[in-house]
Structure 1
Amino acid sequence: MSPEPFGARLRRAMDERGPLCVGIDPHASLLADWGLSDDVAGLERFSRTVVEALAGRVAVLKPQSAFFERFGSRGIAVLEKSVEEAREAGALVVMDAKRGDIGSTMAAYAETFLGKDAPLFSDALTVSPYLGYGSLRPAVELARENGAGLFVLALTSNPEGGEVQHAVRGDGRTVGATMLAHLAAENAAQTPLGSFGAVVGATLGDLSSYDLDINGPLLAPGIGAQGATAADLAGVFGAAVRNVVPNVSRGVLRHGPDVLALRESADRFAEEIRAAVEAA
């Protein structure tokens, strides 16, 4: 029997737990704020606390791979354990690794995070398409085979992204719009939600010139510390707002290491986002 697609599992998780993704971003300054050492022991304590606090109640957890990789093999071991425990507790895991390459190298990245028996198997992976969307084909195919998903960088919130993503191609479409069109094609026959989503910043303002109706999820960083609010979502995403997965990292994580405070913050964000989506 084929595994249930990521898009279907994500839709159910968002409906049941609220449309919220919380990042697991153990950068040095946040470890210090929590009173933890900037080493593997601090990393492990931080990650375990976030998973314990949130994996049983939020729809999605999104570990940022770089903050684990900087500690070498022991950091990767912590990441493996965090992914395993988060998924066992019912959260979907989006691995924020932003991988992108060609041919056998892209296939190896896909196996690392989307191979069904891989230690780092995640429900979805962030990927960069800027070697050409077709370079992502190994990841698309393996994700589809194993019931996983992808989030493709399309319209990111960092100011540098515009020089590539807003560049106009010969056919008159921007590069970002081209990525959205590719994703809509991937999701054409998927219900209730496609498994191939886009990363679109919640801080970008009016995006009505872009067709965000890709029948897939829109991972939206920028809520909280970056300045966007739940009330901004309808104005940015329009009719596609129900498929938005807002990502909050520092806005929740700054309340640690208190488990109850982390939960209360995540619950508050989830409720604000749910109310804003329902009112749109």
Structure 2
Amino acid sequence: MTEPVPFGARLRAAMETRGPLCVGIDPHASLLRDWGLSDDVAGLERFTRTTVEALADRVAVLKPQSAFFERFGSRGLAVLEKAVAEAREAGALVLMDAKRGDIGSTMGAYAATYLDRDSPLFSDALTVSPYLGFEALRPALDAAHAGGAGLFVLALTSNEEGREVQRAVREDGSSVAATMLRHLASENAGAAPLGSFGAVVGATLGDLSDFDLDVNGPLLAPGIGAQGATPADLPAVFGDAVRNVVPSVSRGVLRHGPVTSGLRDSAARFADEVWAAVN
């Protein structure tokens, strides 16, 4: 059996050929209304299919937010399964934004759901929360290694509430966030051209020079667009690690739907602006 190509290598190739943009698929009720759709499974399916058909053949990463599908129960999850499969068939990498985090067999079950290649929800990468301890993520780390998938670990999120945990200082004088970044650097040691285990670091946070963001892995940067950050802000926030940044935009692109050309043109503008800022 052929070894799967690691997520980090596939992501680097996608970033170089399609640009380093991630577009979120966030079908919350207000966006469905803005698109003239009903807030039900039919509206969810139309919104998701339109977004995937418009973008999956041209952006590097699509990031469905699982919660907006879960709220419709099993029928919503069926829409999510189809979207994941169709996006990957069209060449996009799929990052499942589910922020799972637990211990032992429960973490193992989450890993099997999203990181096992035989699962209907298998995704190229998964967002996870490390705040039961980084090593509690080991079942997901192991599953990702085995399946050629990746993880994005919450490290320095853009929400104000995150500071009380992420900026808290440990006994050794380092912050919790800095500790998570060190763990990721260790997990990615020796990987080329890019490790498969990245951090979530908000693009709205300003100067982060106190943190070593060089984890030899990708940095998912939410906050571009509706949350106030712009692609031009990325070099100041991420410094020398900016080449590994995957900026994430959701409403900034999705508000231009349901017309396919609106979605494509908006994503292309963001991608061009990111490319110019990063290079």
| TM, length-normalised to structure 2 | 0.99
In 1, distance between residues paired with 2:235 and 2:116? 36
1:35 and 2:31 are equivalent in the alignment:
no
Which residue is equivalent to 2:213?
212
Equivalent position of 2:25 in the other structure: 24
Structure 2 matches for 1:245-260, cutoff 5 A?
245-260=246-261
Where do 1:81-92 residues align within 5 Å?
Answer: 81-92=82-93
1:161-200 to 2 correspondences below 5 Å: 161-200=162-201
Unaligned runs of 5+ in 1: none
Residues 219-238 of structure 1 correspond to what in structure 2 (within 5 A)?
A: 219-238=220-239
**1:148 is aligned with what amino acid?**
A
**Alpha-carbon offset, residue 94 of structure 1:** 0.1
Deviations 1:5-50 (A, max 9, x none): 0000000000000010000000000000000000000000000000
Q: 1:97, CA displacement in angstroms?
A: 0.1
- Tell me, in whole angstroms, the C-alpha distance in 1 between the residues paired with 2:3 and 2:192: 15
Q: CA deviation at 1:74?
A: 0.1
SS at match of 1:74: helix
Cα distance between partner residues in 1 of 2:35 and 2:182 = 42
1:159 corresponds to which residue?
Answer: 160
Q: Deviations over 1:90-123 (max 9, x none)?
A: 0000000000000000000000000110000000
SS at match of 2:122: coil
Give distance in 2, aligned partners of 1:172 and 1:270: 39
CA–CA distance in structure 2, aligned partners of residues 18 and 196 of structure 1: 19
Mapped to 1, the partners of 2:262 and 2:31 lie a distance apart of 15
Q: Deviations over 1:184-240 (max 9, x none)?
A: 000001100000000000000000000000000000000000000011000000000
CA distance in 1, matches of 2:173, 2:6: 34
User: Secondary structure at 1:82's aligned position in 2?
Assistant: helix
The residue type paired with residue 39 of structure 1 is D
Counterpart in 1 of 2:146? 145
For this pair of structures, how many residues does the alignment match? 278
Letter in 2 for 1:50: T
SS at match of 1:199: strand
Give the residue type in structure 2 aligned to 1:276: A
The 2-side partners of 1:277 and 1:134 are apart by: 33
Q: Quote the residue 1:66 is aligned against.
A: 67
Q: Percent identity?
A: 79
Unaligned runs of at least 5 residues, structure 2 = none
What secondary structure, in the 3-state scheme, does the structure 2 residue paired with 1:197 have? strand
CA distance in 1, matches of 2:117, 2:108: 14
User: Does residue 1:275 correspond to 2:276, yes or no?
Assistant: yes
Distance in 1 (CA, whole Å) between partners of 2:55 and 2:273 is 17
Q: SS where residue 241 of structure 1 aligns?
A: helix
TM-score by length of 1: 0.99
> What amino acid maps onto 1:80 in structure 2?
E
Q: In the aligned structure 2, how far is the partner of 1:134 from the partner of 1:8?
A: 24
